[in-house]
Structure formats: C-alpha cells, structure tokens
C-alpha cells in the first residue's frame, strides 16, 4: 500500500454543477470534502477551542509557519513533536509561508527554500512557497515580475515538491492574461494545490466583479485535478459565487477579526452587534444569550461568543452550498442571492459574460428544472447553449415562421410537415429551433409567470400542398447532430427507420432500424439515449474521437461487463464532450465496448486522475 505521506493531492469528483463541484482529496492526516474552509489559527492566540470548531464541522485548518518559526518556543515544539501536536488538531493542516507578512512589513528574514523545508520538517500537510504577493495597485510590469519570480521560487523547491504537497499560488493582480499564465505555470508544475492569491484587497472593497474575472481566468487555465483555493475568501456573502466559478477551498480569519470589532456574519452580509435586537434562531448563541446579554459581556468573552457565531455562519453557508450542488440548484441560489447586494449583482452580471466559456462544462440536463427569473436568465450557460443551437437555424428565419410561445404541439407538427422552412419559437430572449420543444431546459422550466414571448406570432405560413417531411424524424436528426456530431442524425436515422411513440402522450420512445434499436428518447430531459447498435454505426461512420472515450485494455475488459469507467484508465477523450451526454467507450483498438453517461466534460476527462468518469448504460463483450 502506498505511504500516505508520499501521496500527492488529487481531486476526486463526487457531484457537480457546471464548474462547481463536491470533491474529496486525501492528505497524510486524512481527507477533506470540498467545498470547504480552513479557519486561520494563530498558534499564539486561541479564541475558540479546537473541539468546539470540530463540532461545527471543521475538517482542516491553516496556520502560519512564519509565526511559528519566529518564536523559539513554538519552533522547538513544532520540530520536536510536530505541527499537529503543537496546534492540537489531528486533521489536515495547511501552512502559510509568511508572504503576507513580507508584503505588509517588507522582506522577511527567511529564504524561500528554507521556509518550505521548515514546513516539511514540522509535517505540514500542505506547504506554501514564499511567493511574491501582488495587489490590484501593481503595474502590469510589477505583476508580471511577481508571476515570474513566483515560478522561479517554485522551481527552486521542485525536488521537494515531487514528494510533498506544495501549494503554488496563482498571482497576476488584475491582469487576466497574467492570471491565466500563472495558472498554467502552476498547473504544469509539481505543485499539487493551487491557491488564488492577491485578492484580499478586492474582497475587502467589495470589488466582486473583478474577483469574478480573476477566479474564472484562473480556474479555466488550471488543472482540474488540483484543488483551487481562494486565499482570504471566507465571507459567506461571496462564497456561493466563488464555488459556482470553481473554487474548492477557502481560508478565513474573518470569524475572529469581525468578532473583535463586534461584528456578526450573516449569509447575506455583516451586521454590527450594536444594531442587533434579536439573534437568529440558527445561531449557536441563540440558546445561551439574548442580544442584550451578549452586549454586556466582557471584551474577551464577547469576542469568543461572536467568533463562535461567525464561524458557524460560515459552515452553515458551506453546507447550503454543498446541498445546492447535490440538488443542482446552485446557479438558481446564486442568481437569487445576487439580488441581496448591488456588488453581488455586478458580479453576477460579470459571470453571465463568461456563460459561453462555462457552457462546455455545463451538464446536458439537471435534476432541477430551469428557473427563469427575468431576462438575465436568458444569458446563463443554458441560454448560451440554446443560442448556439439556434444560431444557424433561427437567424435567417422569416418572422412569419417564428411561432408564438406555448403553441399547441400538434399544430406545430402539422405546419412543420407541410413546409420546407425552419421554424423557431421564443424561449425568453432566445429564438429556439422548434425541434428543441421537449428538450432541457425548454420544457423543463419554471418561470415567474410565463416566459415572455418577445413575439405575438401570426398565421401566414406558406404551406405546401402535401406532407414534405416527418416532424419526429427531423427532431431526432436535429438532436443527434447536437449530441453526437454534425451529420450523425442522417446516419443513425435514415428515412426508413421506425419511430415508436407513446400511445398516451404521442412522444417518441424508441427508434428502430430493422430489428435493431438505434436510440431511445428519455422522458426526463427530452434527449437521446444511444444503444450499442447505434454506437457501432457511429463509430464506423466517424473516424477519430468524436464523442468517444478511449480506455486502456484493462479497463475495456471491465467496461464491456457493464462496470464504470474511471479517470485513471482513460487514454483519450473528445474535448468537446459535455457532462451527462451519452458517450461511446472504445478500447485501444477503437472497438466499441460500451455506451454510457459522461460525468465530466472531455477537458476534465483528460485531467482528473481519480474517480468515476462514465457510468455504463449498455455494453458488449469484445472477443
């Protein structure tokens, strides 16, 4: 069995919603479930006991190796008994290097390699290099120098990083090309943990829109198998947005700092104790004090009480975020939460500008219906997907062929089959091909009232005398081209296929070519589920990796028995795969062994090293 102390951190994907994920990574002192937070512990000052913090849900913490090293007493104990004994915590501990102290007070007295080696010697689970802190006020040249010097400092400890978990901070100030460059450098390095640094000033000034730019450009240029940490980002007000953009971990001393100033954390912001009349029922202080009694406590006792409340508020928000990811309603949660503060709305609108980039990581469908709040909902990743699907089909459609929203489906089929024109209908601000009428998110939506038409419609359709095409057949071809590649629809579904429909609803159920079933249409999302026979036809017709996952010979033997595909056995994958779409699993000889549901995008499949990548729906024994 591999020695845990030598095992490098790698993310295991458990649940997802776009870039947000519930994951797990292992350290020498146990595992961490993400998204999560590392409370900052000052080794000299204890406001809350470790036991009390563990009862709230603390799995891991962060402390400062610079402070420990500067104190002869702490240094001696840490070297002799280990960091965990010093702190009194047996779980994962990350150590900071003193970079922030260097930024505040000038150069620190310790060098980079010695700083990292000291963290290794005291048995830190995740050690941090002495990187160069950059701020929003830095010039481009200064920020670029910081990125390059941080790279040099990581390379200086490359031999240590090969056998230990070293964090490689992503710097670059407010310059997005530098953030992307830094993320790529750190992802390609031996660093196994990627904190986004230099953002505390933006957090303190509520510059959340700029934070969105920084996080998304860091995330999309990073290795998905490595955890993303937002240094100093532990305020519950912004955490859900950060997680939505791919942040896995936070740290925070705010629970103590705010308590020291008589301020209380809440999910939507911060309040002064002097203005509090009633404590929220969820607060751990609710059964101990009333607001007046807290105000009358002595300074230290009051600080401890407020710190307990503040840390509980952080863990409560993280629990809500994780549950939202499991339900796949985090986007709706963020969208509604954005209305609680103008700075959050600025950030949410900035997120929408990245919807086109996030779309490729967004699931084909979700367990939750699509919530349509207002016109902003048309600019989500699902909105961008619909725009992309309708771009060629609806852009040149004459107005008279744009159907009113909510038009009777039977009538739609009739006018469609007696015309050669493309037909579209409005979904909010987007014109959607009529072939998408039953597919997610069009039919699986909940709106505030009724999704706005944007068009009143008319009935002056130029219809042919006879039937020119079959609506169900064209719908199948349209969906196939989207799911499995342009041109796949006519290959899978030639004119002579037999389409079986439900007698009760009239909806498509199965499609046969002769006696073989090519695909079925799923009722819950309105998309196609591919069969082995359909997969073999597409595999023969389309050379290359289109919508395919190639696995090792060892894996193929298991997958052909219906067992899931795991990331570590993937040899290649189509980078255009989107999560929850059906994919074809092939062996090293390009033979079909199974069809299943992708649990990650194609880009992620090429990066994750641990966990389940494809669940198998159909399989075939390869001789």
**Rounded to whole angstroms, what are the CA distances from 301 to 52, 165, 304?**
15, 38, 5
Distance CA 185, CA 183 (A): 5
Cα 544 to the chain's mean position, in Å? 29
Q: How many CA atoms lie within 13 A of 132 on its CB side?
A: 18
Angle between helices 342-353 and 330-337 (to 10 degrees): 130
CA dihedral 204→207→209→212, nearest 10 degrees, is -30
Q: How many CA atoms lie within 13 A of 351 on its CB side?
A: 27
Q: Which of 33, 96, 533, 582 is catalytic?
A: 96
Instruction: Give yes or no: 223 in active site.
Output: no
C-beta separation of 197 from 131 below 8 A: yes
Which candidate, 157, 149, 146, places its Cα nearest to that of 190?
Answer: 157
Angle between helices 176-187 and 208-219 (to 10 degrees): 40
What DSSP string runs through 30-60?
A: EEEEESEEEEEEBTTB-SS-HHHHHHHT---
- CB-based burial of residue 497 (10 Å sphere; 0-12 exposed, 13-18 middle, 19+ buried)? middle
What are the b/e assignments for 14-53, b being 16+ CB within 10 Å? bebbbbbbbbbbbbbbeebbbbbbbbbbebeeebbebebb
Residue appearing with tokens 């990292």 = 116
Task: Please enumerate in sequence order all residues whose Cβ is within 8 A of that of 555, keeping only pairs 6 or more positions apart, or say none.
Answer: 565, 566, 569, 570
Interior angle at CA 92, CA 34 and CA 131, nearest 5 = 85
Neighbours of 341 (CB within 10 A): 16
Distance CA 209, CA 239 (A): 14
Known catalytic residues? 96
């Amino acid at each position: 069995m591999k020695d845990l102390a030598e095992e490098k951190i790698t993310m295991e994907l458990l649940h997802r919603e776009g870039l947000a994920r519930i994951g797990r990574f292992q350290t020498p002192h146990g595992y961490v479930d993400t998204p999560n937070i590392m409370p900052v512990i000052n080794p000299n000052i204890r406001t809350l006991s470790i036991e009390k913090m563990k009862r709230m849900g603390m799995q891991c913490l962060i402390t400062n190796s610079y402070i420990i090293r500067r104190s002869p007493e702490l240094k001696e104990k840490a070297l002799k008994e280990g960091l965990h004994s010093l702190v009194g915590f047996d779980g994962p501990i990350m150590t900071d290097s003193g970079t922030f102290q260097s930024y505040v007070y000038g150069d620190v007295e310790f060098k980079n390699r010695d700083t990292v080696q000291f963290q290794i010697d005291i048995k830190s689970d995740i050690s941090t290099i002495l990187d160069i802190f950059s701020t929003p006020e830095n010039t481009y040249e200064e920020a670029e120098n910081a990125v390059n010097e941080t790279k040099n400092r990581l390379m200086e400890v490359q031999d240590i990083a090969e056998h230990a978990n070293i964090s490689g901070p992503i710097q670059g100030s407010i310059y997005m090309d530098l953030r992307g460059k830094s993320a790529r450098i750190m992802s390609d390095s031996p660093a196994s943990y990627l904190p986004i640094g230099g953002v505390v000033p933006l957090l303190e000034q509520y510059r959340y829109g700029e934070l969105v730019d920084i996080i998304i450009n860091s995330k999309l240029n990073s290795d998905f198998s490595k955890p993303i940490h937002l240094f100093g980002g532990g305020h519950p007000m912004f955490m859900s947005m950060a997680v939505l953009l791919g942040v896995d971990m936070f740290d925070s001393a705010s629970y103590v700092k705010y308590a020291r100033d008589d301020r209380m954390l809440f999910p939507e912001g911060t309040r002064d104790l002097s203005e509090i009349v009633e404590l929220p029922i969820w607060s751990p202080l609710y059964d101990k004090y009333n607001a007046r009694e807290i105000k009358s406590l002595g300074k230290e006792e009051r600080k401890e009480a407020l710190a307990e409340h503040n840390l509980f508020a952080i863990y409560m928000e993280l629990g809500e975020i994780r549950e939202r990811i499991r339900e796949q309603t985090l986007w709706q949660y963020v969208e509604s939460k954005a209305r609680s503060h103008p700075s959050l709305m600025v950030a949410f609108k900035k997120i929408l500008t990245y919807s086109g980039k996030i779309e490729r990581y967004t699931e084909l469908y979700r367990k939750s219906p699509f919530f349509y709040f207002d016109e902003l909902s048309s600019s989500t990743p699902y909105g961008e997907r619909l725009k992309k699907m309708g771009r060629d089909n609806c852009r040149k459609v004459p107005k008279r062929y744009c159907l009113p929203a909510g038009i009777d489906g039977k009538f739609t089929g009739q006018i469609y089959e007696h015309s050669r024109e493309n037909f579209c209908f409005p979904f909010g601000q987007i014109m959607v091909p009529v072939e998408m009428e039953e597919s997610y998110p069009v039919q699986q939506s909940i709106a505030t009232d009724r999704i706005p038409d944007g068009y009143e419609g008319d009935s002056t359709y130029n219809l042919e005398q006879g039937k020119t095409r079959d609506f169900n057949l064209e719908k199948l071809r349209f969906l196939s081209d989207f799911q499995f590649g342009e041109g796949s629809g006519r290959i899978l579904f030639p004119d002579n296929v037999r389409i079986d429909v439900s007698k009760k609803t009239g909806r498509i159920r199965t499609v046969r070519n002769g006696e073989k079933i090519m695909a079925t249409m799923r009722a819950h999302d309105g998309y196609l589920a591919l069969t082995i026979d359909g997969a073999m036809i597409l595999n023969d017709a389309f050379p290359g990796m289109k919508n395919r996952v190639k696995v090792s010979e060892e894996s193929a033997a298991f997958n052909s028995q219906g067992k899931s595909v795991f990331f570590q056995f993937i040899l290649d994958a189509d980078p255009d795969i989107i999560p929850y779409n059906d994919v074809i699993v092939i062996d090293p000889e390009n033979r079909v062994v199974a069809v299943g549901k992708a649990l990650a995008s194609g880009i992620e499949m090429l990066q994750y090293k641990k966990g389940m990548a494809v669940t198998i729906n159909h399989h075939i024994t390869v001789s």
